[in-house]
Amino acid sequence: MFYGSTPAIERFSSGLFQEVIIANTLPVSEKNYLPQLTVLLVQTYLARASGVCMMITLKVMFYIYMVFLEL
């Protein structure tokens, strides 16, 4: 489990930062969880990106298919 370094946690919790945004690629222990910590779910963004790639691929395949039908 990822615990983070003590100096980094102290700096983040000092009030200097309004919000700290991290990805959920590394776990954060409960003792190091800060009120201003925002955890982004990587899988959400990966799913959206793969969906966009799939749509582009399907469109390209459709256009290629249409070109062959016209021949």
- In DSSP notation, 7-56 reads HHHHHHTTTS-S-EEEETTS---GGG--TTEEEE-HHHHHHHHHHHHHHH
The pTM of the full predicted model, rounded to 2 decimals, is 0.51
Residues 53 and 46: their CA atoms lie apart, in Å, by: 10
pLDDT score of 35 more than 80: yes
Give the model's pLDDT for residue 1.
Answer: 41
Percent of the chain with pLDDT over 70: 87
Give the whole-angstrom CA distance, residue 35 versus residue 32: 10
Asked whether 30 and 2 are in contact (CB, 8 A), the reply is: no
Residue 71: predicted pLDDT: 53
Query: What average pLDDT does this structure show over 6-25?
Result: 80
